[in-house]
Structure 1
Amino acid sequence: MIRILVVDDEPAMREGLTDNLLFEGYLVDNACDGKSALQKLNETHYDLMVLDVMMPEVSGFDVCKQLRNANNPIPIILLTAKGEEIDRVLGLEFGADDYISKPFSVRELIARIKAILRRTQHYKHDSTPRQFERIGQMDVDFKSYEAKIGHETIKLSHREFEVLHFLWDHRQQIVSRDDLLKNIWGYDEFPTTRTIDNFILRLRQKIETNPNDPKIILTVHGMGYKLL
């Protein structure tokens, strides 16, 4: 069964989300702070995490950064109380897959959870034979969300895979930042194209032999990016 970790320092929010997700048929654990969340993630496999941003000591941003720095690809939906642009931008730059601002509709959150799980579980259980594409120094199988350099497995977040997949499908073409935002996130209210630049930077660090002199994902100034 699908197991979800809910992390929030507000007991009412934590318990309410846990009850609603249990009602949907998920296995649910919860944590009251970022430190406890990281401990649980070290001990148990989770298919998705709902993570509050504003927590004492270890914030949701800190949890997100630590997981992505450790190449942990767990899908993360951030909860932000402020709803300010900077919060949404930082969350996505730190590797979150989605965000939702408080107060929010539980139905909307569950719909977003189901959308992410449909995508990730499909790739996890797909029995189609692996087909790796060589992109720079990395081999990528977009069906299984697997990537490797030589025999070493490289972990990318689901958003990184999606951005790379879109560029691959449009290789040798100029892809604008707005194209990526519209086709990957699909939110009209998405705050800025700066986040795309950060995703490209992280992809270059994994794909390019020399990320400071990219040869695979090129910047077309004033227009966007081109994957060769």
Structure 2
Amino acid sequence: MTAMNPIRLLIVEDDVRLARGLAMNLALEDFSAETVHTGEAALDALAAEEPPFDFVVLDIMLPGIDGLEVCRLLRDRGNHIPILFLTAKGSDADKVLGLHIGGDDYLTKPFVVEELMVRIRGILRRTEWSSRPTAVDPHISIGQFDANLVTMQARTVQGERDLTEREVILLRYFAENEDKVLQRGDLLEHVWGYAFDTSTRTLDTFVHRLRKYFEADPRHPQHFHTVRGVGYRFTS
């Protein structure tokens, strides 16, 4: 995006002062940021066709419809806009659920604005990369199960299910590097666009979920292998 056509962000945060502060800081980085303070207002803003938003910073704890329900409704409607959740300390269950229903990552309050910028830019960069043609067959077989990177649908242990965009991006990168040992930093860099040394448990949450989808026994994985002290290795 150029200064003439900046990336449009929607900040959904019920703390008005925090929302305004984030919008001001994002504007200094050449983003176009708008703020709303309820889940209902977020859904209305995102339903408008023109001009579309490119990214959502979404607080989980909102009055009325909370951030998790906003995300769930967007994904149910086929809206795959990148979503970064803002969460409170100690809300681990909300973090896991947020990623499960289609969030791309989360940031725990309090945080520094620079970290928010890193997350936003990284997720946008990898989302753009994922739209390019893949070097592998988009239909991936994983043991007795399979996933389609184009339709974002999979046959899993639990039956037919839709995959989130970040799950598809992670699966694609694993498939493009089958049998290779991938370092944690490499996966974070290529799937989330983060710096190699970024500290986050998001990757582990996503791998855990892929194991639940495609492993007959997730405790003894045959496809998504942990390489202790290094990262992960995928075999179909």
TM-score normalized by structure 2? 0.69
Task: Name which of 121, 134, 142 aligns with 2:139.
Answer: 134
Which residue does the alignment assign to 1:147? 151
Q: Distance in 2 between matches of 1:56 and 1:181?
A: 36
Task: Name which of 199, 219, 223 aligns with 2:220.
Answer: 223
Corresponding residue SS for 1:100: strand
Which residue does the alignment assign to 1:183? 187
Q: Distance in 2 between matches of 1:121 and 1:193?
A: 23
Corresponding residue SS for 1:39: helix
Q: What whole-Å deviation, never above 9, does each CA across 1:170-220 have from its counterpart, x for those lacking one?
A: 55x599xx978983477655289565443555xx5xxxxxxxxxxxx4435
Task: Tell me if 1:105 matches 2:116.
Answer: no
**What amino acid is the match of 1:135?**
I
**What amino acid is the match of 1:19?**
M
Q: Distance in 2 between matches of 1:222 and 1:49?
A: 34
Task: Name which of 12, 31, 37 aligns with 1:32.
Answer: 37
Q: Distance in 1 between matches of 2:36 and 2:21?
A: 13
Residues 196/73 of structure 1: CA separation in 2 closer, same or farther (3 Å cut): same
State percent identity of aligned pairs.
31
Which residue does the alignment assign to 2:209? 198
Gaps in structure 1 of 5+ consecutive residues: 141-145, 205-216
The answer to whether the 8 Å contact 1:80/1:100 transfers is: yes
Task: Tell me if 1:165 matches 2:172.
Answer: yes
Gaps in structure 2 of 5+ consecutive residues: 154-160, 224-234
**What amino acid is the match of 1:29?**
E
Task: Name which of 112, 116, 121 aligns with 2:123.
Answer: 116
Residues 99/156 of structure 1: CA separation in 2 closer, same or farther (3 Å cut): same
**What amino acid is the match of 2:219?**
G
Task: Tell me if 1:86 matches 2:86.
Answer: no
**What amino acid is the match of 1:223?**
H
Q: Distance in 2 between matches of 1:81 and 1:63?
A: 17
Task: Tell me if 1:13 matches 2:13.
Answer: no
Deviation at 1:163, TM superposition (A): 2.5
Residues 57/225 of structure 1: CA separation in 2 closer, same or farther (3 Å cut): farther
Which residue does the alignment assign to 1:52? 59
The answer to whether the 8 Å contact 1:47/1:74 transfers is: yes
The answer to whether the 8 Å contact 2:135/2:176 transfers is: no
TM-score normalized by structure 1? 0.71
Please report the RMSD computed on the Cα atoms of aligned residues, expressed in angstroms. 3.5
Q: Distance in 1 between matches of 2:218 and 2:62?
A: 39
Q: Which structure 1 residue ranges, 4+ long, deviate > 4 Å from structure 2?
A: 128-132, 136-139, 178-182, 184-189, 191-195
The answer to whether the 8 Å contact 1:7/1:30 transfers is: yes
**What amino acid is the match of 1:32?**
H
Q: Distance in 1 between matches of 2:210 and 2:53?
A: 24
Paired positions, count: 200
